[in-house]
Chains A and B, each alone.
Chain A
Amino acid sequence: MVTLGQYLIVSGLLFTIGFAGVLLRRNIIIIFMSLELMLNAANLSLVAFSRFRLGVDGMPNYNAQVFVFFIITVAAAEVAVGLAIIVALYRARQTTHVEDINSLKF
C-alpha cells in the first residue's frame, strides 16, 4: 500500500525541483513556472494530509481542500499580474533575463 510518507516525499521532491528552478534558471518566465511547481507541491501535501488524517466524521479533512482551493485561486491571480509585469518589462527592455535587469546595484 501507498503511505502518507510516500506522498509527502513525492511532494517534497516537487517542491525542491521548483525551488531549484528558481535558484538556477535565469529566465523569468521559467522562474515563474517553477514557482507554480512549488505552490502545487504544497497542494499535493495538503490533499495528502486531508486524506490520511481523517476528520472526526471519518471523512477526509475538507478544511485542507478549501485551503487548496484558495491557493489555486491566488496562484492564478498571481500568474495574471506577474505575466502582465513581465510583458511590461519585455516591452521596455526586450529581455526576460534576470541577469539583464541589474541596473540597480549595491
Chain B
Amino acid sequence: MTIGAPILEVEVLVIGLFVLMVEAFFERIDKRTLAFAAIFGLAAVLAASFFLAPAPTDVATTGFWSFYTADLLAIFFKRFALVTTILVLVMMVDYAPVVRQSVHGTTHQSGLGEFFALPIFTCVGLMWMASAIDFVMIFVSLELVTMSFYVLVSFTRRNPATLEAGVKYLILSALSTGFLVYGITWIFGVTGETNLARVTAVLADPALESGPALFGMVLVLVALGFKIAAVPFQMWVPDVYQGAPTPVTAFLSVGSKAAGFVVLLRVLQPFFMMPQMVKALTIIALLTLLYGNLAALPQTNLKRLLAYSSIAHAGYLLIGVVSFAGEAVAYYLVAYLLMTLLSFAVLVVVANQTGDNIEDFSGLAKRSPFLAFAMLVAMASLAGVPFTAGFLGKFYIFDAALRQHQTTLVVVGVITVACGFYYYLKVVRAMYWDGSSIDAPVPVSRLSRVTMTAMMVAIVVLGVYPQPILNALK
C-alpha cells in the first residue's frame, strides 16, 4: 500500500484541525491528552512517509508539480520536520505548567490547546517548504512558518521578556520578508519565471545580463540569512531564543533553521556557477563561525549559550553549503536536531525546578544522574566528541571543505571547535564539578525519559553508523 507524498501534509493538517476543534468544543478534558494525540498522529504520519508512491521526477511546466517536488531531499526533510515537531510536543507537555502560569484564562488550562496546535501547523509549513521548488511556493510556506512562530514566540505573554522576544522576532522577520519579496521580484523581473528549474534554464543563457538577477539573489540570501541566523543577520537570535518559551526556542533553532537550509540549497542551485556567490557565502560562513563561537564564550545563561551555539552551527553548515555538499549538510542537520533538542529537553525539565542559567545546573549529577548524563551526551555531541553524531557531522563537513580546497574555512573551523569545547564543557563542569545548595531530585516524566533515552541512543548510533541517513538521501 502506498500513498502520494502530498497526502502527508494533508494528514498533518487534519491532525492540526482536529486538535483545534477538540480544544474549542471540549473544555473539560485534560488538554495534555491533545498533545499525546498529536504526537501519536504525527508518529503515524512519519510511519506513513515510508510507504510513498514514487512521484513524477521531471518538473511539470504548470500546475501542482511545478510548485511541489517529492524528491529525496524533500522527503528527507519532511521526516525531519515531523520528528522535530514530535520532540517539541513532548517538550511542550513538560513545559505546560509554565504556560499555565503565564496565560491566565477562564479555565486553568486555557491556551494550552492552541499551544499544542500551532506547532502542528508550523510542521505543515516546514513540510511544504521542504518540497517547494517555486519562489511563490517558497514565499507562502515560509510565511506560514514565520506566522506561526510569531504567535508561538510571544505565547507566554505575561512574561515581559517573552513579549520583547516576540516583538524583536516580529520586526526582523517582517524585514526579512520584505527583502525576500523584493529579491524574488528582481529574479522574476530578469527571468520572467518563478520556478527554480526554469530560472536555472534562463540564467544559463550567457547573453542574459546576470547582474540584476544576482542582486535579487543577494536579497533572497539576506532573507534566508535571517532564517538560518548567519552573521550579520543574527542580531535577533540571542534575545529571541532567551525570551521565547523554551520548547519554542528549540523548535525555532532546529525547525526554522533546517527549513532555511533546505531552501538555501534549492535556491542556490541556479546561482552556484557564479564565483561571486561562493565568495560572498564563504565570507558569511567565516563571520558566522567566529561570531557564534566567540560570543558564546562568556555566556552564563544556558538558553543564550545555545542561541550562540546555534549561530556557530549555522557556520559549520554554511561550510557544507559553500563546499556543495548537500549530503553533509543534511547529515549535520540531523545531528544538530538530535543534540540540540536533547539539550533543550533537559533544559525544560531542569528549568521547571530551578532556572535556565548555567549555575542552575550545578550539582545536577547528584540531583538527577539521568538528566546530567543526557546533557553530557548532548554537550559532547555539540562539541564534537567522537562516537557522537555531532563529531561525524563535523567530519563530513571538514572533509567536504578540504575536497573543495576551502583551507581558510577549515582552519577557522578547527580553531572555533576548540572554543566550542570550552563553552559546552562549562555546562558539564556545572553539572559534575560544582556542588549545589538544592538536593531535591528533579522529577522526569516517563514520556520525557523515554524520548531522551531514544535521542541519546540515536546520537551514539548515528555517530558510529551513519549509513541510515546516507541511504535516505541516495
Contact = CB atoms under 8 A, between A and B. Distances in A.
A and B part of one assembly: yes
Interface of A: 8, 15, 18-19, 22, 28, 31-32, 35, 38-39, 41-42, 45-46, 49, 53, 61, 63-64, 66-67, 70-71, 74, 77-78, 81-82, 85-86, 88-89, 92-93, 101-104, 106
Contact of A85 (B143, B160, B166): B166
B165 interface: yes
B422 interface: no
Contacts of A86: 167
Given A85-B170, A88-B157, A104 B243 contact: yes
Interface string B112-140: 00000000000000000000000010011
Given A42-B181, A45-B182, A71-B181, A104 B192 contact: no
A49 B174 CA distance: 24
10 contacts: A22-B175, A39-B181, A45-B185, A67-B139, A67-B184, A74-B143, A77-B147, A85-B154, A88-B154, A106-B295
Contact of A63 (B150, B157, B166, B194): B194
B211 to A, nearest CB: 13
A101 B160 CA distance: 9
Contacts of A32: 171, 174
A58 B189 CA distance: 17
Interface string B210-254: 000000000000000000000000000011001100000000000
Given A38-B178, A42-B181, A104 B242 contact: yes
A41 B188 CA distance: 15
Nearest to B166: A85
Shortest 6 CB-CB contacts between residues of A and residues of B: A38-B178, A42-B181, A49-B189, A104-B239, A101-B164, A42-B182
Interface string B145-157: 0010011001001
B181 A82 contact: no
Contact of A53 (B139, B171, B181, B192): B192
Given A53-B189, A85-B166, A103 B143 contact: no
A103 B147 contact: no
A44 B171 CA distance: 22
A8 B189 CA distance: 10
A53 B192 CA distance: 7
B186 interface: yes
B177 A89 contact: no
Given A81-B150, A85-B166, A85-B167, 17 more contacts: A15-B182, A28-B167, A35-B177, A38-B181, A39-B178, A42-B185, A45-B186, A46-B185, A49-B185, A71-B181, A74-B143, A81-B147, A85-B150, A89-B166, A93-B163, A101-B168, A104-B161
Contact of A46 (B154, B188, B242): B188
A89 B150 CA distance: 13
A2 to B, nearest CB: 16
A64 to B, nearest CB: 6
A74 B238 contact: no
Contact of A104 (B174, B189, B238): B238
Contacts of B188: 46, 49, 63-64, 67
Contacts of B161: 103-104
A19 B222 CA distance: 14
Contact of A28 (B150, B160, B171, B243): B171
Given A39-B181, A67-B188, A92 B160 contact: yes
Contact of B157 (A8, A71, A92): A92
A75 B188 CA distance: 20
A70 B136 contact: yes
A72 B447 CA distance: 43
Given A82-B150, A82-B170, A103 B160 contact: yes
Contact of B163 (A31, A35, A88): A88
Given A42-B182, A81-B147, A104-B239, A70 B140 contact: yes
Contact of B175 (A35, A41, A71, A101): A35
Contacts of B157: 88, 92
Contacts of B177: 35, 39, 74, 78
Nearest to A64: B188
Contacts of A53: 189, 192
B178 A42 contact: yes
Contacts of A77: 147
A92 B163 contact: yes
A55 to B, nearest CB: 8
Interface string B18-42: 0000000000000000000000000
Contacts of B295: 106
Contacts of A61: 192
Contacts of B154: 85, 88
A41 B182 contact: yes
A62 to B, nearest CB: 12
A93 B160 contact: yes
Max chain A C-beta neighbours (<10 A), residue from B150, B181, B184: B181
A103 B161 CA distance: 7
Contacts of A82: 150, 170, 174
Interface in B275-309: 295
B271 to A, nearest CB: 19
A93 B189 CA distance: 44
